Chain A
């Protein structure tokens, strides 16, 4: 299958290894992965902060970059839900029938990585090896917007050597919330403190999620506490093999 990688702005600028890991996993499964250089942000940050008009060109840019692929795969449940859930409304608001058609064509073929692997391709064992104790934080948008269900957990359970630890109060928000973390920094940090305590209680060496935005937020706090707990995107764990790659 010819797949377009939608890397997302946050992963591109802060966690480029995640993008490389997505390519590794998809190529290992025999797919061709392209990276359209014209891609940019999905516009969720603008949209969720109230700048709806400013998000419209981002939606146009997305459809221009990703039209024509059999599937578009992204390592972010949050950005995937923006494309799938909110692009249609945005196109309608902009009264742009061309954009609406383009969105109708590309949005249903845009998938978050774990859903694409486990549900679209029907693969849970992607050949990964990761001999560490890992706990998984289900991001709010993966859980309650995109409703990925247990797809990430099925993938993690199939990784050889991986010891999956329960995360107390796992479904609670980490407090990031995009610009919420800027506009209400004190509340955001207070929410994060409880998530960090739960991660430490899990006894895991690695905290995993399907969204780097949450991992950036929780990981920052884990680092400042010198907790010794690392954060890794799901793709990076799935990409690891016995060869150490």
Chain B
């Protein structure tokens, strides 16, 4: 790996700083109504799902300990992951930054003789701006997660980690489908089931004909070289099993030492994110299996500023994040502003500490993010991996003051 350096998120260049973007968002009463409705509903459901477990605090503590141990020995576990993915017939690529990761994926898609991909919902590829990079290379990327599809069809940006189209209500979604989805059925209503059925029909042919699937991963298990994708809709399962070639772009902090460790996270993640005891689909795969699933598997391990964050003793705890979104759903700032003002695929409290660390704090937007919080502490209380977000926010403010004065 190269020396620690700032990463990039090319899609978000030139956005205004948080206070300016937030001012516009706060004035949008439709947006605020959508967000209040959605965040309050998921907030209450999560609290109920968490209250069912008597050992929640012990689980949080265990998850924190596992992640801290893994991050402290990241070199060991990444090399172990690489060896075991390779042994299982996969290929491992190392990408220092977003451009490098995108170029690797584009090369692999071309190498497979394809000009299009189907995608599993993935934060890492939102971060690298993969879709836009592939488009510039003449490759079409189709988002197959329902909310990501809504965002893509609407020429929009995701505004929530788990629910990328949280800023849209169903009337707006119907309008996007009616105007942007060529095969939308006549007389489409804004009934959620009808909207989901329209998307399902739209995606089906793409699943069956795709040559290449691209995913991220929630977890990568070093001891066997296995990847894990946790999802609700089953589109991910389609993407990682049907195409001949599968490419997974995964942040280096996603590695876990063993399957025993995964158990803790599979208890924490669904309850924290969707307020479910268990998510509907958990896909795991290890390299390739002849006659079953993809014939070619490529793992692209992405740094993009992560080793730089790892060098900060206080800030590195942001790398424990498992992208559950619980902190977004309880945040008083996120509730009023939504995700777009954060200028990153990582909005809300976790975005305010993760984005500046990944990109570096040279841009006015990134310098404004750690100040996008009243330090109310609700995020820390719900975080399943115990990231002390208020402390990191204040720590980063201290670093920014030293730069800006």
Contacts and interface: CB of A to CB of B under 8 A. Distances in A.
A227 interface: no
A190 B26 CA distance: 7
Interface residues of B, number: 31
A180 B369 CA distance: 12
B332 A172 contact: yes
A221 B22 CA distance: 20
Contacts of B378: 140, 144, 171, 173
Interface in A50-102: 50-52
B399 to A, nearest CB: 8
Given A175-B332, A187-B337, A48 B397 contact: yes
A92 to B, nearest CB: 12
A188 B375 CA distance: 12
A49 B397 contact: yes
Contact of B377 (A50, A144, A175, A176): A144
A147 to B, nearest CB: 10
A210 to B, nearest CB: 15
Interface residues of A, number: 28
B398 interface: yes
Given A144-B381, A187-B22, A47 B372 contact: no
B369 to A, nearest CB: 11
Interface in B49-69: none
B285 interface: no
A191 B374 CA distance: 10
B22 A180 contact: no
Chain A CB within 10 A, most for which of B376, B397, B399: B376
A144 B397 contact: no
Contact of A190 (B19, B32, B371, B398): B32
A48 B394 contact: yes
B333 interface: yes
A178 interface: yes
Contacts of A177: 373-376
Contact of A186 (B26, B380, B398): B26
Given A51-B401, A177-B376, 14 more contacts: A50-B394, A50-B397, A50-B401, A140-B374, A141-B377, A184-B22, A184-B333, A186-B26, A186-B27, A187-B19, A187-B372, A190-B26, A191-B333, A191-B336
Interface of A: 47-52, 140-141, 143-145, 171-173, 175-180, 183-188, 190-191
Interface of B: 18-19, 22-23, 26-27, 32, 332-333, 335-337, 368, 370-378, 380-381, 394, 396-401
Closest 6 A-B residue pairs measured CB to CB? Answer: A177-B374, A50-B397, A144-B377, A173-B376, A50-B401, A140-B376
